[in-house]
Amino acid sequence: MTQKELFNTLKNDSTVQIELCSASEFYAIKHHRTNCYVLILGMKGFCEIQIDHHSFRITKSSITIIPPLSTYSLQRPSHDYAAQIITFESTLLSTGIFETNILNDLLFINPEYAPTFPLKRTEFHDFYYKFKKIKLELDHDKPFGIDMIRLYLIQLLYEYNRICEICLINSDTSINRKYQITQRFRTLLKEHIKIAKDVAFYADKLHISPKYLSECTRSTWIFCSPFNSKSAYG
């Protein structure tokens, strides 16, 4: 299949779509189960959303990701509500140049907390720029269009994950204590991985038990473990 044929297939089979949702065009969605990733960039106003057991508002200058196999409802938008929405299937990214473990990490949406974050002015404009670029690639049949869309989606996912990590690191909740420990563990790995591959070494550095460190990394770290199963996770 040629690049052009693949690009036309991409546009026709709804593998990736982008649209503007406004209050005047809004229709309520109740208990819809999605098989795709849904990225929602809040432009104006607000809208009530429930994703599985999380209920919150999509607000101006916010980014929300609905992962596949989630059940969600959208309703009660404000009169000025507007949002940009991208839907895509994970298979679109898996056929690119990125390794599977990296993609799994980027695409993982932790179910423990609501998948939405406020954006600073510069962050919002950066997200909006990439949304517009994806729309342009979909509207114009240019060489390497699919590859450009993949790259923009990867950038969006990296930006989302970076904002997520910053929020979690700065949080004091019990859920995120595990996340903070995992981040400190990552830092220690970079320093000592060549000389120490036993989980007890890192647990001692973090002043926690090896069992608790294993629990933290299992629940929050999606990258493949650099340890072998015997030395680190028994």
Asked if the model's pLDDT at residue 172 lies above 50, the reply is yes
By CB atoms closer than 10 A (0-12, 13-18, 19+), residue 37 is buried
Please indicate, yes or no, whether residues 20 and 135 belong to a single structural domain of this protein. yes
Of the listed ranges 29-43, 61-75, 99-113, 162-176, the one predicted with least confidence: 162-176
Q: Is the separation of the CB atoms in 80 and 43 below 8 Å?
A: no
Q: How confident is the model at residue 182 (pLDDT cuts 50, 70, 90)?
A: confident
What letter would DSSP give residue 234? -
Please indicate, yes or no, whether residues 157 and 214 belong to a single structural domain of this protein. no
Sequence-ordered list of residues with C-beta below 8 angstroms from that of 154, at least 6 positions apart, any chain: 93, 96, 98, 106
Asked if the model's pLDDT at residue 112 lies above 80, the reply is no
d(CA 62, CA 218): 29
Q: Is the separation of the CB atoms in 222 and 105 below 8 Å?
A: yes
Q: How confident is the model at residue 167 (pLDDT cuts 50, 70, 90)?
A: confident
Among the listed residues 166, 88, 153, the one whose alpha carbon sits nearest the alpha carbon of residue 127: 153
pLDDT of residue 234: 38
Please indicate, yes or no, whether residues 160 and 226 belong to a single structural domain of this protein. no
Into how many domains does the chain fold?
Answer: 2
* Structural domain of 212: 176-232
Asked if the model's pLDDT at residue 25 lies above 80, the reply is no
Q: How many residues does the chain have?
A: 234
Residues of 48-64 as b/e, b for ≥16 C-beta within 10 angstroms?
Answer: ebbbeeeeebbbbbbbb
pLDDT of residue 229: 40
Please indicate, yes or no, whether residues 125 and 189 belong to a single structural domain of this protein. no
